[in-house]
Structure formats: C-alpha cells, structure tokens
Structure 1
Amino acid sequence: MINHLWGLLSHPDREWRSIDEEGETVSHLYSHHVLWLAAIPVISAFIGTTQVGWTLGGESVLVSMGTAVGIGIAFYMLILAAVAVVGSTIFRMAKDIPDRPSLHRCIVFAGYIATPMFLSGLFALYPVIWLCALAGIAGVCYTAYLLYVGIPNFLGISEERGFILSSSTLAVGVLVLEVLLAAVVLLWSMGSENSIAWMLFG
C-alpha cells in the first residue's frame, strides 16, 4: 500500500521510472494510493474543525459533527473524481505528442503528482489559517517539482518538450486538483452550519 510515497518525496526522478515500468492500472492506483492519501486532508480537517476549531485571528470556531461528516464525505468524493478529471485533462492536452500516452497512464500520473497536496492536508489537524496556507503553498511547490521532473520520464517525451508541456498545458490540469483541495480548506473555514449551508445551497 502506498508503495511509492517515500520515493516520490526523496528521489522522484528514480521513482517515476519505477512507476512507469510497473504499468500500473487505474484501479490499482486508486486502491493502493489515492483512496488512502485523499482521506488525509478530509480526516484532518474533520478532526481539526470539530475538536480544535478554525482560528481566524480571534476565537476558535467549531463545526458541528453532523455538518463536518456531510462536508467531509462530499469533498472526499470530489477529490477522488478530481484525479480522474486531471488525468483526462492531461490526456487531451497531450494530443500533439507523437507517442501520445494513454488515458489510464495520464490518470496514474495525475494521482501521483497530487501526493504532496494530499500530505499537506495533515496541517488541517491544527486549523490555523496561516499555517494551513503555508502547508498548502509547500504542497503546491513540491507538486510542481514532481510535475517538471516526472513529465519527461513518465510520459516518454524530451525534457524540452516536457518543460513546455508542463508549463503551458499540464499545469492547467494540476490546478483543477489544487483548486478542489483548496476548496476543502475554505469550506471548513466557514466555521458554522449557516455559512456552510449558504455556500452549498445559496
């Protein structure tokens, strides 16, 4: 389970080659990586917002248990779907590559580059806005690093083409996932059932 986690954090260049050689399926990616790591920001935010409370510079604001469960389930499902959306976006934007990677390989790639974003969700256990923001920035930065390192090896293109593709197109796909993960933090930070209901139902 989560076989490549340490490798992606410590030696991503070598780990991308290892992932590529395995020819991993989408179902294996989800069952051994995404399902587990995607739960980190959701569970952390659930614990933080119901037990510690969001701190916006003043008093801590607690979210009720019932509200937290509903929001947590909804955003967990969205995060899982976002990986597939990002993979599909990568596939579409790589249409001009002569040896175009398959859709399932793009989804696998998307699942792994999201790893730092998932891990940064741990900081939601202590939901102080500035701390969560710093953790999110760190997650985005390392996600970008994995993106630039991984594209040439994992998608089988030159480093020059990989740089152009990651800068102009693949980054758009990654942003879809980043925005959804950021939305989890923003929604938890609303801090009350009335505010959350307003966000969801207008």
Structure 2
Amino acid sequence: MPAQSSRKNKAIGMIYLNFIIHHAGGILTNTQVSWRTIAHDTNSILDVYRKYVLPMVALPLICKFIGFSLVGYTLPYTNSIIRIPLEQGLKDGLATYVLVLVFFYIFALINKKAIEKHNLTISLNRSFKLVAFSSTPVCLAGILFLFPGFSQLVIFGAAYAIYLFYQGIVEIVDESGNKAITIIVAAIGVVLLFWISLELLLNEFVRSFPA
C-alpha cells in the first residue's frame, strides 16, 4: 500500500509539473494562442489554484528565503553579509504566501468588476485565469531572489506580466482599445496597493515579532 500510494503521488506530481511547464511555456512563448486556449479550457478556479498558483507563488518565496536567510546579501561598500534570521524569514514567507493566495482571488473579483464597468463581459473563472497566468513571469523571475544582489531585476518580470495581462484582455475580453488600457492601469493600481498594504501588515504583525 505505501508503495502504491507513493506511485500515485508521483503520478499526480508529474501531472502538475506537466501542467505548469505547458502553461508557463505557452504563455511566455506563444502568448496569443495560449490565452485563447486558456479561455476555453475546462479548468476551474480550484484546478488552477492547485495545479498552477500554489506552486508558482511558492517558487519566489522559497528562493527569497534561501537567498536572504541562508545565503545573505552584502551591504554596499562593505564586506558585511546580512542574513534575515531563519525564524523571521519563515514567518515572513508563510504570511506572504497565504496573503498572496487570497489576493489572487480578490484581484480576480476586482478585475471582473472593472471589466464589466466598461460594458465588457468576463466570467469569474476567466478573470481568475487572467490574473493567475499573467503572473507567470513575476513568479519565474523570483528565482533571482536566490542571488540577493540581482533581486531588483524581478521588476522586468513584472513589466512582462503587464504585457501578458494586456494580451489576455485582448484575447479573452476581445478589447484592445482605450478600455483595455484603463483596465490595465486600474489593475496596476490594485496590485501596488496590495503590495504596500502587505508590507505594512508584515512590518506590523510579523517582522515586529522577536526572531
């Protein structure tokens, strides 16, 4: 029985891995076709959460923990290596993970309302997919957190995510004009507000705890 359970878990793991590789590779290299395929597939919000969002969001956070708590970073013009205490790094990572997962769903709801406000139509399922898969380059760029000195380059992943989000609106909502730009600007504002709020929450309730 344990061997059978192990084989089953490995099979499920391979299915999830193939799902990630297929969708991440597609959205990055064949964006328009991938968005059209994603828009009409049968994956539910829960499916996308389990197969894609959970592991993809975990990737940059794990890399950040390794880079900033185990490897450490050097202060400019000094030879001092700074490391975030392990307990503090774990608390920070776990809290961020949970809050980001919740935010994905909230963002999908807000995005749906923003799109409908412009007399366009989108289901919550498609809105969630738009949010989830457009985050791909940010999550993958999070690998750079393994090397704290290069962590600021993650901003390029964020820039590419905006492009993917725009292409998603074009393909899923069938809107490429001023309405699409307005929706993107609103989405950027929502994301920035979330990250500012996240930092404030972590500083107040997590990072303020003694490590």
TM category, shorter: 0.7 to 0.9
Q: CA deviation at 1:42?
A: 0.6
CA 64–43 in structure 1, closer or farther in 2 if over 3 Å, else same: same
Equivalent residue number for residue 60 of structure 1:
81
Map residues 1-202 of structure 1 onto 2, 5 A cutoff.
1=16, 2=20, 3-57=22-76, 58=78, 59-128=80-149, 131-134=150-153, 136-155=154-173, 157-160=174-177, 164-177=178-191, 196-197=207-208
> Aligned letter for 1:111?
A
Select between 5-14 and 177-186 the one with higher mean Cα deviation: 177-186
Separation (CA, whole Å) in 2 of partners of 1:65 and 1:183: 23
With the length of structure 1 as denominator, give the TM-score of the two structures.
Answer: 0.81
Select between 71-80 and 56-65 the one with higher mean Cα deviation: 56-65
Q: 1:15-35, CA deviations, whole angstroms, 9 ceiling, x for partnerless residues?
A: 101111204210011011100
Q: What is the percentage of aligned positions where both structures have the same residue?
A: 25
With the length of structure 2 as denominator, give the TM-score of the two structures.
Answer: 0.77
Separation (CA, whole Å) in 1 of partners of 2:142 and 2:157: 9
**Preserved CA contact (<8 Å) 2:38 2:129:** no
Select between 40-49 and 173-182 the one with higher mean Cα deviation: 173-182
Query: How many residues are treated as equivalent by the alignment?
Result: 187
Gaps of at least 5 residues in structure 1 are none
CA 176–39 in structure 1, closer or farther in 2 if over 3 Å, else same: farther
CA 52–183 in structure 1, closer or farther in 2 if over 3 Å, else same: farther
Q: Which has the larger radius of gyration?
A: 2
Q: RCO (CA 8 Å, sep 6+): is it higher in 1 or 2? A: 1
User: Alignment RMSD, CA only?
Assistant: 2.8
Gaps of at least 5 residues in structure 2 are 1-15
Separation (CA, whole Å) in 2 of partners of 1:120 and 1:11: 18
